[in-house]
Structure 1
């Protein structure tokens, strides 16, 4: 990865000469005090030699201050993160490189990088004398159990003179950002009954050619097979036209994440909301790898912009790029102020294919609204979290069982998520339960296929 974050210390030192004098070390202050005292004693006693010694002692730290103060832009820095995007609980290494761009060697250099407290303590390094045109490299590790975007920098550089009389702190202007994305689990492939037609094995194919009278031609391109030339359209348009080939069309999957603040209680990496975010990330990555075009939808009705039709990513984008864009969104997603799922319901226009929902606490009204979402999808799978059970570590209460029953009667494959549950196990259980609850959806479809 190319080095970035290059910069140089700020040209101006706040406070001017006063700030430079404030950078005197204990040794420098001692020399200055001794020189002033010797000069005063020499004046009182009339000793010329003592006066010269006092002036020398007092002048040395002042000269060091002047030289160090006028030494600007002597050192350039660069920062490199490896990797720049890391899962929660994993480490990233930060590489710092210092280059002496002046013609003179440096003194002792002390480096300190600004790091948010959630990533660990601020790293400090001491670099020995750096020759003219020299280079030094150091590195440190950062780690966070909480997802988010964290700024690294600016880097602070403490300059010292060869005699250790003065220290000045200069700040570099450049900084970088570390993105901590949610943890993901590897999900097993499962097969469901009752899936909408055309979504078997995660793909469908549509013929552009349905007969001579129903053909959709296009302009001839270099390399096209001449056997596909459509002469009737060629005569009509006055240019060479060919029949379209059979084109693959990806199945769609919508991952719905409930972010309502009223639906989740508690905070921290082990909270119900963080499990839901991690579950949505795992399902999203899994479906992209299975060849689906995926849309990430929240209760606010907004989705991550994609190049595909209707905001679905993975159709015209590379799957890794699509996953990275959605992961960056999940890294900073937070609770919404909304109280209902109506906006998400409006965003489901029908024909969504597979719908995978991660839902928090639902009252009777929101449970009924979620149940109606089943009518706008092919297959619907819901993972229902009770934040109260996650806070106390207890079992699923009767109210959650009632919501599960309501969703299942509407055709959902609905599962309760106990505290600390593994999504991979629930994912496999959803595939098994679908054969049980498939009868409730049999009234709308008679096809079967795989959903992940």
Structure 2
């Protein structure tokens, strides 16, 4: 490890011993030489006692939450089976990625131990916890040893999902009242019989839990292809957002969070939902199954601004949805004028950095608009963009 072998006390002891040995030779004082040799030998012997024992171990981590949301707290439990001679005297710390924060350290209790700590999600992404680092010191505190044990564990931090109010009136794919899908929403993943993926199967039918369990791509056998009732579009075109850097862009993070929140709001209201990016790539298809949500959240955990957008009518296809949510960043009046509602019955446009006249131009072309404040309440922006009841019927 990067930490030096001797502690500050050990370095001071060694330095004092060397100075006394030099002074003894200059002053011809044999007692000083004895003391100097003793002070030199002590940290060397301490280092020997710390580094001589051979240690190995296994670390098993269990995280209480499979997918950790930004702002959510989860408990990490580690079982450590340490193989060593004698009980190590020292402290432990788990290596945390930038995606989470927590107090992952403490005194090491013994050869076999269960260590626990809490982590909070602070940044979207797929990262790794670990390795576990054990720091041992000798009884006099002169020498120290840091050693890493065990494998790492993947942790996925997904965007925060906020409660949003529903649309005033349900609207269907053709502009009429949506049919509730409560019967489909009641089906869990356990009620489905997945089968292996075959060439030509739609990504909308992927059974995420079965895929993760078996290691091969699996699809739902009885899932029926149908045009979606609602569409959420995340405009990830690079020109709309700040350049990716070491720190996340607050505007883009707010957009991703609003995208996830809008999609799950529609599912709660009985819609089936397609979540796509502005280039037409499918990020998630929510059809009321438990693993649909997991698939979408994992996709949104790693999404970044890139590429260019396409015409929204091309992205949506030939079947206009009922509710349509388009979430974007920088947009001016010319962009808004070219932005088609694609025939949606309830089009909503939410922009993180609109020009002064952009939202007015979009409203003139049929959009219900609102500005996203990255530091504000996203539910307020959503409420401002909700279509009125008369618009939902129109």
TM-score (norm 2): 0.69
Q: Distance in 2 between matches of 1:56 and 1:183?
A: 63
- Counterparts of 1:262-273 in structure 2 under 5 Å? 262-264=239-241, 271-273=250-252
Q: Which of 270, 294, 301 is matched with 1:331 structurally?
A: 301
User: Which residue matches 2:124?
Assistant: 147
Q: Deviations over 1:217-265 (max 9, x none)?
A: xxxxxxxxxxxxxxxxxxxxxxxxxxxxx99876613211112343356
Q: CA RMSD in A?
A: 4.3
Q: Answer yes or no: is the 8 Å Cα contact 2:320–2:342 preserved in 1.
A: no
The structure-2 alpha-carbon separation of the partners of 1:155 and 1:204, relative to structure 1 and needing over 3 Å to count, comes to closer
Q: Deviations over 1:332-381 (max 9, x none)?
A: 3222242x433x5433222253333224444565445432622xx5x342
The structure-2 alpha-carbon separation of the partners of 1:75 and 1:162, relative to structure 1 and needing over 3 Å to count, comes to farther
Q: Distance in 2 between matches of 1:386 and 1:428?
A: 14
Q: Deviations over 1:33-79 (max 9, x none)?
A: 666656995999797x9988776654443333234223233454343
Q: Distance in 2 between matches of 1:171 and 1:200?
A: 57
Bigger mean CA offset, 261-270 vs 359-368 = 261-270
User: Which residue matches 1:166?
Assistant: 143
Q: Distance in 2 between matches of 1:62 and 1:385?
A: 65
Q: Distance in 2 between matches of 1:418 and 1:29?
A: 56
Q: Answer yes or no: is the 8 Å Cα contact 1:257–1:276 preserved in 2.
A: yes
User: Which residue matches 1:432?
Assistant: 388
SS in 2 for 1:61: helix
Q: Distance in 2 between matches of 1:269 and 1:28?
A: 42
SS in 1 for 2:161: coil
Q: Deviations over 1:402-451 (max 9, x none)?
A: 22111x1xxxx523336446547845973524x24744xxxxxxxxxxxx
Q: 2:75 aligned with 1:93, yes or no?
A: yes
Q: Which of 231, 234, 257 is matched with 1:257 structurally?
A: 234
The structure-2 alpha-carbon separation of the partners of 1:76 and 1:421, relative to structure 1 and needing over 3 Å to count, comes to closer
Aligned-residue offset at 1:298: 0.8
User: Which residue matches 2:59?
Assistant: 77
User: Which residue matches 1:348?
Assistant: 316
Q: Deviations over 1:290-331 (max 9, x none)?
A: 444322111122112x6xxxxx443xxx62211122112222
Larger radius of gyration: 1
User: Which residue matches 2:214?
Assistant: none
Q: Distance in 2 between matches of 1:137 and 1:364?
A: 56
User: Which residue matches 1:371?
Assistant: 340
Q: Distance in 1 between matches of 2:33 and 2:251?
A: 76
User: Which residue matches 2:218?
Assistant: none
Q: Deviations over 1:242-289 (max 9, x none)?
A: xxxx99876613211112343356999995544432222112112334
Q: 2:370 aligned with 1:416, yes or no?
A: yes
Q: 2:94 aligned with 1:113, yes or no?
A: yes
Q: Distance in 2 between matches of 1:60 and 1:112?
A: 28
Which stretches in structure 1 are left out of the alignment for 5+ residues?
1-12, 206-245, 307-311, 390-396, 440-452
Which stretches in structure 2 are left out of the alignment for 5+ residues?
184-221
User: Which residue matches 2:359?
Assistant: 400
Aligned-residue offset at 1:188: 2.5
The structure-2 alpha-carbon separation of the partners of 1:371 and 1:27, relative to structure 1 and needing over 3 Å to count, comes to closer
User: Which residue matches 2:259?
Assistant: 280
Q: Distance in 2 between matches of 1:25 and 1:426?
A: 56
